[in-house]
Structure 1
């Protein structure tokens, strides 16, 4: 839940950072609230999604429109291509996406399934590189897609990389809606799955995000063996059982992850 700002900081909260630009925070929140399910939004919808007031949402929307990031018909707003510059700046300046892409392509070609690389962002695993196989999944995932960490294989790997106390705090605090009849939402059960991932070195998902789709993920580590990302592969349930999926693709997934680690952190 968003904290209410006060005129003076309480004893429990530190004094606000004088260098922090709150208006920039609000503008970025508005820019990133658009998505596949929210492609065209009005002021009230943006206010609800960003937990801001309608007046604040309106000012941000109009400013982003004036800057060329949004367009509007007077009632609803939508993103313009200029918004891609924000994502491109990250993709162009960080080594992980470009180094991972050929490895994901090779893994996808070898298995004929889709492969992804993701980082932990708040309560989600955000995809920063992806290769889509001929057998496309109906989820329509792409670079920048966010998957809820509590039930996505990628997210479970990333949560398992956190100190256990922090992982538990985050899991208990995050929303855990039931996305399918198979979604595990109970905090204790999610914690047990994350603990098992921490022990076994991989995580799986069996129809929890989307019925008919199984996924499996492994960590990508740096030279100090710290987890820096997670790599996954997904398969249709009718193609193979979860056991067959693990036996057929886990070694290839682990090999691709190790190759990425070696290329990102040579020597």
Structure 2
């Protein structure tokens, strides 16, 4: 396992420097003994994960590493395009907006929005940081986290009381997370934006990590028809599971 970790460290380090690194620079950066690093570089070069420039003798990422990166990029683009279409479909009949929220540097950031033009109170826009404690779409990102991690994140981002319903303590947030874990989705109402109701479900990757949430944000007026909440819940949860499957996550499909 140590050999695998060291190989990953070498590839990761070279990915950070477009002008390559010398043998000594890799030694200094990775704290790998010279003899071990030399053997590792020979194997990686033989498999074309790295290459060594003939004149400068600097190491660069090789074609095999590029192929892996391009394959991952193509998959990401495919997922993003598919998600855009699905979010647009999700908006139909909801009277609201479909949102994608992701973790960026320990912050919940809205990275996609479709619809919601008739919701003047909805503040979520692409690029906006969403409060972790006060919206279902952000809070659901923490569904699998232990209390100490949640507490640390909330200490960094704050517990601003935006509305009377906004959670004001870690304990209140944890109570909502208990319900999130029990049901597999989260709901918020009038916690951040006035009169906005939202339902969010987690998107997981193949490593079981929550990487995003899919949500519908609307108003109570659009939920007055019998069965409206149940239909939205089914669509949001199923979309989150479909997107998780696209990212390699495998779980039984049932709502």
Deviation digits for residues 124-169 of structure 1 (CA, Å, limit 9, x no counterpart):
4201121114533433432112210111101111012323431233
Q: Residue 35 of structure 2 corresponds to which residue in structure 1?
A: none
Q: Residue 245 of structure 2 corresponds to which residue in structure 1?
A: 262
CA contact (8 A) 1:217 1:232 kept: yes
Q: Residue 230 of structure 2 corresponds to which residue in structure 1?
A: 247
How far residue 260 of structure 1 moved from its aligned partner, in angstroms, is 1.7
CA contact (8 A) 1:127 1:144 kept: yes
Alpha carbons of structure 1 residues 128 and 174: separation in structure 2 relative to 1, 3 Å:
closer
Q: Residue 160 of structure 1 corresponds to which residue in structure 2?
A: 143
How far residue 179 of structure 1 moved from its aligned partner, in angstroms, is 0.9
* Residue 163 (structure 2) pairs with residue 180 (structure 1): yes
Select the structure of larger CA radius of gyration.
2
Q: Residue 42 of structure 2 corresponds to which residue in structure 1?
A: none
Greater CA deviation, 214-223 or 156-165? 156-165
Alpha carbons of structure 1 residues 147 and 244: separation in structure 2 relative to 1, 3 Å:
farther
Q: Residue 221 of structure 1 corresponds to which residue in structure 2?
A: 204
TM-score, reference length from structure 2: 0.60
* Residue 237 (structure 2) pairs with residue 237 (structure 1): no
How far residue 256 of structure 1 moved from its aligned partner, in angstroms, is 1.3
Q: Residue 110 of structure 2 corresponds to which residue in structure 1?
A: 127
Moved over 6 A (4+): none
How far residue 214 of structure 1 moved from its aligned partner, in angstroms, is 0.5
* Residue 97 (structure 2) pairs with residue 114 (structure 1): yes
Q: Which sections of structure 2, spanning at least 5 residues, go unmatched?
A: 1-72, 251-255
Query: In 2, distance between residues paired with 1:173 and 1:101?
Result: 31
Query: In 1, distance between residues paired with 2:74 and 2:160?
Result: 34
Q: Which sections of structure 1, spanning at least 5 residues, go unmatched?
A: 1-90
How far residue 111 of structure 1 moved from its aligned partner, in angstroms, is 2.7
Aligned pairs, number: 177
Alpha carbons of structure 1 residues 173 and 126: separation in structure 2 relative to 1, 3 Å:
closer
